[in-house]
Structure 1
Amino acid sequence: MAKIDKVKETINILKFWLGIAVATLLALSGWLVLNYDKTDWFIVLGSVVCVAICATAIYYISKIIMSQIQELEEL
């Protein structure tokens, strides 16, 4: 497999995981907005931590995708 094909496949896999992270972030945020007053504080705290982790993952995956695109332009 050529290097350009490997980079393209890496980008595709990262885009898949980016979509999973965004969907998880939206689902957790929606649940948190609807249920923050009906549930225990430690579940709310755990949800906030998970939202922060998902947001961080989205940021880092996006940065990796952009660096892979830059590498693809150089090939």
Structure 2
Amino acid sequence: MSKLDLAKEKITYLKFWLGILVAVGITLMGWFLSNFRSAHWLLVAADVLALLAIGLGSYAIPSEASPQTSEA
């Protein structure tokens, strides 16, 4: 396999996981907006922490792909 094919495969893989993170983030944000007043504070805190982790992951995945695109 050439370097270009490996780079394309890695970028496709990272795009897949970025899509999953975005979908989960949207779902958690929807739950938060509809339940933050009635849910137990621990669930709300866990949701906020999960949203922060997903945000960091969504930031890290394109950063991971950037060196691949400049090399190819």
Task: Compute the TM-score of the two structures, normalised by the length of structure 2.
Answer: 0.95
What count of residue pairs does the alignment treat as equivalent? 72
Q: Quick one: distance in 2 between partners of 1:18 and 1:48?
A: 19
Name the stretch that deviates more: 63-72 or 41-50.
63-72
User: After the TM superposition, which segments of 4 or more aligned residues of structure 1 sit over 2 Å from their partners?
Assistant: none
Identity %: 36
> What is the CA distance between 1:62 and its match in structure 2?
1.1
In the alignment, structure 2 segments of 5+ residues that lack a partner are none
Q: Which residue of 2 aligns with 1:58?
A: 58
Q: RMSD across aligned C-alpha pairs, in angstroms?
A: 0.7
Task: Compute the TM-score of the two structures, normalised by the length of structure 1.
Answer: 0.92
In the alignment, structure 1 segments of 5+ residues that lack a partner are none
> What is the CA distance between 1:15 and its match in structure 2?
0.3
